[in-house]
Structure 1
């Protein structure tokens, strides 16, 4: 249900809940930038009151509140000046194509940022740091972004596994133990192989980060952590995954940058030293 409509249909609101509803309705865009404490402060309520209200909305936390808010804002937009699924017309010049893609990329970044939950990201970064082995499960073109994340992490001495073939993905999941952390990329949970992989990971009690859209995903119930991609495009009926690819790249780059920043000076030194070694060998 549209969050704004849900607000309108809620009866017997407490004074704290009224304050939160009024603030969110008056400042929806600003709300998307807040952490829980910041929203509570802005509405002059306690954090406990905020989370009681979130539970009353049948949401699990600040991240889901933002997801619902973004979706509701989209529904109430009067017009959209670009079609994300078909941004290229037969009559378009190369300049117009470039301009349209630029709009898509910019809005994709804005939407990905709006879905970002700082608290969830901090928790995920701690899980990554704790894990001795990081496995990334993806399919189709998403494998290229997983491989790029693997390359980035390897540059700072962290080995990441990206199994590609169906059998190897299931085998890697079956071999996983308490030292592993799994990152699963699944826009809507439709792939048979990843469905099987996730069930094996769940059976082995492997902590799992699910990178997904805000659309219903049957794999979400197995995830310990969820990171949301921009979810504008139709899954099937489109020219290409322009928006989804940009969003996934941003998510992986963010995970790498947050991981890197925990030991910034050490990682900078590690990269520079290794590049010097490699360049020395080429002389």
Structure 2
């Protein structure tokens, strides 16, 4: 049963909830693209009403409602001329390849934005600031994006732990406690190491931010917060992870920006002063 059908069959709704249901049924695209306060203003209900309705649907947040709506509306069909898995044809010129990748990148950014619950970004930003240690767990090529996030944060004086080897990742998870926050990157929860690490962190009462696809992921139940990749690509059958890679970079850059913005003037001053020190020593 798709989410619009579920919404239409909800019972025992308040008058405000019925008003919101009517708005969603008439304007599903706006729900996907609007922030909670925009939805509330245009549908003439409160933000609290939105989240009550989300709870009645059995969803964990507005982000999951957006994902369900995207799936129902098959928004990716708008880009039917783009094959996310095979965007490069043998007959393409270099410029055609560049154009096709540009379409994928634009669609990827739009899809990533559509999945985000703004309230989750706010909460994750607060918890990153509160944590004494931020750990990032991932594997394979995604390590490069985790390391780039580590570099960005280090430039403003925040130390990030990005363990790489399997044993060190397990050891890091075992040593974690409530002073830590863990960012876990897992497209579908298939990796044995990441699965084991997630369970250890959960048992140690570590808050987990899971960056994942919109597909079912067995690790979802352990995550306090979920942020979703663009998920149009096949996990295996493709030329390269053009879309997923860009989506992950976009998410990490957003988390860095949210953290930076919390103490904006201090972070700018810190970066500039450190650059001056470095350049002075290099001259």
User: Does the pair score TM above 0.5?
Assistant: yes
CA distance in 1: counterparts of 2:274 and 2:12, whole angstroms: 63
CA distance in 1: counterparts of 2:206 and 2:79, whole angstroms: 44
CA distance in 2: counterparts of 1:109 and 1:37, whole angstroms: 22
Provide the residue aligned with 1:234 in structure 2.
234
Provide the residue aligned with 1:170 in structure 2.
170
Unaligned ranges ≥5, structure 1: none
Between 26-35 and 83-92, the greater mean CA deviation after superposition: 26-35
**Contact map agreement 1:33 1:114 (CA 8 A) in 2:** yes
Provide the residue aligned with 2:70 in structure 1.
70
Q: CA deviation at 1:26?
A: 2.7
CA distance in 2: counterparts of 1:217 and 1:207, whole angstroms: 17
Deviations 1:167-196 (CA, angstroms, capped at 9, x unpaired): 000000001122211110001100111001
Provide the residue aligned with 2:218 in structure 1.
218
CA distance in 2: counterparts of 1:8 and 1:40, whole angstroms: 19
Q: CA deviation at 1:5?
A: 3.5
Provide the residue aligned with 1:269 in structure 2.
269
Deviations 1:227-272 (CA, angstroms, capped at 9, x unpaired): 1111111111111110000000000000001101111111111111
CA distance in 1: counterparts of 2:14 and 2:58, whole angstroms: 17
TM-score, L = length of structure 2: 0.94
Where does 1:1-283 land on structure 2 (aligned, <5 Å)? 1-10=1-10, 15-74=15-74, 77=77, 80-283=80-283
**Contact map agreement 1:35 1:62 (CA 8 A) in 2:** no
Q: How many positions carry a matched residue from both structures?
A: 283
Superposition RMSD in Å:
1.8
CA distance in 2: counterparts of 1:126 and 1:78, whole angstroms: 36
CA distance in 2: counterparts of 1:237 and 1:278, whole angstroms: 45
CA distance in 2: counterparts of 1:106 and 1:46, whole angstroms: 32
